[in-house]
Amino acid sequence: MKLRTKITLLIAFSLLLVLLLFNVITYITVVNMTTTNEIRLLWEAAQPIMSQPGLYSPDRWNRVSWLRPFLSPQSMIRIIDTNSQIHADLHSQDELTQIPAVFSARGFAKKIKTANTLIVYIQTPIIDENNITLGALQIGRKLDTLDEYLRVLVTVLMFTTLGAAFFALMSGMYYTRVILRPIHRLAFIMEVNQQNGVFMQMAIPPYGHHDELGQLVQTFNTMIGKLEHNFNRQKQFLADASHELKTPLTIIESYADLLKRWGGSDTALREEAIEAIQSEAARLRNLTQSLLSLANTEAEGQKLWQTFDLTELVRTTAATLQQTFHRSVHVDNPSIISLYGDPGQIKQLLIILLDNAIKYSQKPIRIQLFKDQRDEDIIILRVIDQGIGVEPTEIPRLFDRFYRVDQARSRETGGSGLGLAIARNIVRLHKGTVTITSSIGAGTQVTVKLPLRYDAHVPHSNDTQTKNSPDSSSEES
């Protein structure tokens, strides 16, 4: 069963239930109001009879002539003694004889539903001047007019209910078609996207931005936008990776072909080919490791997260690189700071930043580590060099995969163009931000802001920021 049919039937059934409940309440209310009014009239009719002297003389009960003036159409007057024996019985309708003749010392009013009609009656005790109960007076009335009214009422309510149910079906079919139209359109667009491999989005009507369907369409469009963005990034990544892998593979293939043809007799050529093949193989290995590292940092997770001494990690990493590259890496007297995160990834982040600074500068490198004065829950890690720098216009692209400011220079230094992309992913996984400021010939300053706790909030800022300053610049990875 289609959703449209389900909604239509549900609306019609719900309306039908409401109407039936309303009809029952209306019917009961009309009956109760009418019978209450009739009973009130019976009590009023009993007052003149109760004032008659013959009512208090049991020997006159069998002579009913004095009661006839009080008998109205479709009514009954009856006198019974304390033993429930009938002594006087005047009635204009035979159905009124169905009223039970049962003595009671208390007055009451009742209604009786027979097969053909509704009867109401009252009963009040007869008490003489000596406070002796002689019997009881009963007055009843057959409500033929009420029966007619009720039949008309039931007929009107029945036709009204059927008409309302039919109208609910028709209007339900129309409105569900209007309401479900965006969903049908959305399903059609999803099918087109699936069959054709496109990223078509759905237009939102001006009046439907804030309702649930509008929110659904907005969510769908946002999802399609992200899928398209990720698809394009993946496509670009594959193209860039293929391009990067093509050069060393071509070199290896060329030198292998030279070895096959001339390497046996030419010692110099053989040594040159072996050295080139070894160099390109090492470059391929480094590039593969960088690609794997980039893929790992893009997969969010906290399996290896822990609280560790960030200050000690910075000092040991700086000392290791200083010893390896024989370069001065100075850490400005930081206080002891603990961080919740992945120490392996944070160390990789620091190595990437220091490796860039070492490659493209000859002067000492400074590392600053301190807490943000405006927010004690945020730490700032800053790597500063006095290297060659880059043009400010190049800074926004430094975090792109495989991007190099100077292709030839990067190949000489062994850069793959993935370092800063990996660094940015590490910072994002730790809910932080990274900014770069640069000036040609003045140096590099890379600033990383990280929350001490994973649930803390780092004010948003762009990944890259251009700033001309004498002591800051940016490097390619």
476 pLDDT higher than 50: no
Q: Looking at residue 298, what is its pLDDT?
A: 57
3-state SS assignment for residue 34: helix
| Cα–Cα distance measured from residue 414 to residue 128, given in angstroms and rounded to the nearest whole number | 127
Nearest to 385 by CA among 314, 312, 343, 436: 436
pLDDT band at 184 (very low <50, low <70, confident <90, very high): confident
Average pLDDT of span 438-462: 76
Give the pLDDT band (50/70/90) at residue 312. very high
> Residue 462 pLDDT more than 70?
no
Q: Which of 92-106, 192-206, 218-232, 379-393 has the lowest mean pLDDT?
A: 192-206
pLDDT (average), residues 184-194: 85
Average pLDDT over residues 277-293: 73
Question: With 60 as the cut, is the pLDDT of residue 408 above it?
Answer: no
Q: Say what the pLDDT of residue 470 is.
A: 37
CB-facing half-sphere around the CA of 196: CA atoms within 13 A: 9
Rounded percentage of the chain residues whose pLDDT exceeds 90: 14
What is the 8-class DSSP label of residue 441? T
pLDDT of residue 406: 58
Higher pLDDT, 467 or 237: 237
Report pLDDT for 455: 62
Q: What pLDDT, in 10s, does the model give residues 94-148?
A: 888 888 999 998 999 998 887 778 889 999 999 988 888 899 999 998 887 777 7
Q: Please state the length of the chain.
A: 477
pLDDT above 70: residue 83: yes
For the chain, state the CA radius of gyration. Answer: 49
* Helix, strand, coil percentages, rounded to 5, for the chain: 55, 15, 30
Given a cut of 80, whether residue 157 has pLDDT beyond it is yes
Residue 215: pLDDT above 90? Answer: no
User: Residue 362 pLDDT > 80, yes or no?
Assistant: yes
pLDDT value for 464: 44
Instruction: Say whether pLDDT at 394 is over 90.
Output: no
pLDDT at 291: 67
Answer yes or no: pTM beyond 0.85: no
As a whole number of Å, the end-to-end CA separation of the chain is 59
Across 370-388, average pLDDT: 88
Mean pLDDT, residues 395-419: 62
Higher-scoring residue by pLDDT: 259, 163 = 163
Q: How far is CA 74 from CA 71, 101, 139, 366, in A?
A: 9, 18, 11, 114
Residue 113 identity: K
* Sign of the C-alpha dihedral computed for residues 337, 339, 344 and 348 taken in this order: negative
pLDDT tens digit sequence for 439-449: 887 888 999 99
pLDDT tens-digit readout, 29-56: 888 888 888 899 999 989 998 888 888 8
Residue 396 DSSP symbol: G
Q: Is the pLDDT of residue 367 over 90?
A: yes
Averaged pLDDT, 374-387: 89
Q: Over 80: is that where the pLDDT of 473 sits?
A: no
Cα separation of 348 and 68, whole Å? 115
The per-residue b/e assignment along 452-462, b for 16 or more CB within 10 angstroms, e otherwise, is beeeeebeeee
pLDDT band at 407 (very low <50, low <70, confident <90, very high): very low
pLDDT tens per residue, range 323-337: 888 889 999 877 888
Mean pLDDT of all residues in the chain?
80
Quote the pLDDT of residue 113: 82
Higher-scoring residue by pLDDT: 177, 316: 316
pLDDT value at position 114? Answer: 79
Amino acid at 269: L
